[in-house]
């Protein structure tokens, strides 16, 4: 039998291990270097904005879903974002992921979120992924691509500039010529489920 419970700071080691396994599986080995238990504990301590659930079979952790709260006008207030969803390989297709999504929907409804969103892998990986069927079965609908601009290293001290100063890092001409960072823009498919009708 699968049970779920909310994560706490005490779960930092388990959360770190599961998210590291997810990142390794997605081929994001470079992202794992920055993931450590202290970072995870710090994020888990941000209980107003970060939450999640662990799934268990008996005492064994077999899945995790992590969520972040955001706000926007299009969502008519606050909404949730699924940042990570992982199930250990031997428990996939056994209902664990759906239980975790149900727990997330319950939390979102309780918090008054207007919707729940999730970013999916880039195409064509997404169309071949069994996760696409999972999210569609859970009531999500594709709402389009999502882009990101990494901000680490982008900020620099402000200097007095003259009109003939070099173009900024965000200048579109410079972006087309050579992106300032590898992987400057990543595109994902974004999916959403409306929570307004679930109260």
Distance CA 49, CA 152 (A): 21
Over range 94-122, report the average pLDDT: 92
Q: Look at residue 139 in the predicted model and tell me its pLDDT.
A: 86
Residues sharing a CB contact under 8 Å with residue 108, sequence separation 6 or more, in sequence order? 67, 79, 80, 115, 116, 195
Distance CA 154, CA 114 (A): 32
Over range 102-117, report the average pLDDT: 96
Over range 167-185, report the average pLDDT: 43
Which one of 59-63, 130-134, 159-163, 166-170 scores highest in mean pLDDT? 59-63
Domains detected in the chain: 2-155+172-198 (3.40.630.30)
Binned at pLDDT 50, 70 and 90, residue 173 comes out as: very low
Q: Residues 190, 145: contact at Cβ < 8 Å?
A: yes
pTM of the model: 0.75
Which one of 19-33, 77-91, 114-128, 140-154 scores highest in mean pLDDT? 77-91
Closest CA to 37 of 4, 9, 69: 9
> Does the pLDDT at position 51 exceed 60?
yes
Closest CA to 119 of 103, 138, 135, 107: 135
The angle that helices 12-25 and 37-44 make with each other, rounded to 10 degrees, is 110
């Amino acid at each position: 039998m699968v049970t779920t419970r909310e994560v706490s700071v005490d779960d930092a080691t388990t959360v770190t291990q599961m998210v590291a396994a997810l990142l390794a599986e997605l081929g994001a080995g470079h992202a794992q270097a920055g993931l450590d238990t202290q970072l995870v504990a710090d994020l888990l301590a941000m209980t107003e904005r970060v939450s999640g659930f662990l799934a268990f079979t008996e005492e064994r952790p077999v899945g995790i879903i992590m969520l972040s709260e955001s706000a926007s006008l299009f969502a008519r207030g606050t909404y949730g974002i699924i940042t990570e969803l992982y199930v250990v390989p031997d428990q996939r297709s056994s209902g664990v992921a759906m239980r975790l999504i149900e727990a997330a929907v319950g939390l979102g409804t309780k918090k008054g979120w207007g919707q729940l969103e999730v970013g999916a892998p880039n195409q064509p990986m997404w169309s071949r992924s069994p996760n696409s069927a999972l999210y569609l079965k859970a009531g999500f609908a594709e709402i389009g691509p999502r882009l990101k601009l990494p901000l680490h290293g982008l900020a620099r001290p402000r200097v007095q500039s003259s009109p003939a100063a070099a173009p900024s890092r965000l200048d579109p001409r410079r972006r087309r010529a050579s992106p300032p960072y590898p992987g400057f823009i990543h595109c994902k498919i974004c999916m959403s489920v409306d929570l307004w009708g679930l109260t």
